[in-house]
Amino acid sequence: MKAEGGFTLIEILIAMFILSFGLLSLASLQVVAIRVNTASSSLTEGTTLVQDKIEALMALQFNNPDLDDATPVGTFQCHPEPTPPKGYTMQWCVDNDATNTIKTINIETAWYDGKAPRAFRSSFVRTSF
């Protein structure tokens, strides 16, 4: 008599378990990838907002009201962005030096990523020359 070949029920169950474990691992990896993509998208948008605001402020005249600082030297006067994109807040803070020829400008945009508040900050110096 000839022995019949094939898989036993135990072998099929073990193979299905291994396949299921692999597929579940891939599914959890996909969830993590979606979260990371969302976080990087928010950071990219926040960075772009700050860069756009830097370019807009650099294009203004040195004595423009958006670059005013009525506070003492070393103290920043903040200006909120009137119309930030939905989900973001933005402000820039200006400090004049003692000779009123150099302005230090700090810009910050903030958002909430679902778990915690996030922010991106940048700073630049503007001269009257």
Ordered by start, the domain boundaries in the chain are 42-127
What's the pTM?
0.73
| Residue 112 host element (H or E) | strand 102-112
Q: State how far the Cα of 94 lies from the Cα of 79, in Å rounded to an integer.
A: 8
What string of pLDDT tens digits covers the 129 residues of the chain?
566 777 789 999 999 999 999 999 888 899 899 988 988 999 999 999 999 999 999 999 988 888 888 889 888 999 999 999 999 999 999 999 888 899 999 999 999 988 889 999 999 999 887
Neighbour-count burial for 81-118, b at 16+ CB within 10 Å, e otherwise: beebeeebebbbbbbbeeeeeebbbebbbbbeeeeeee
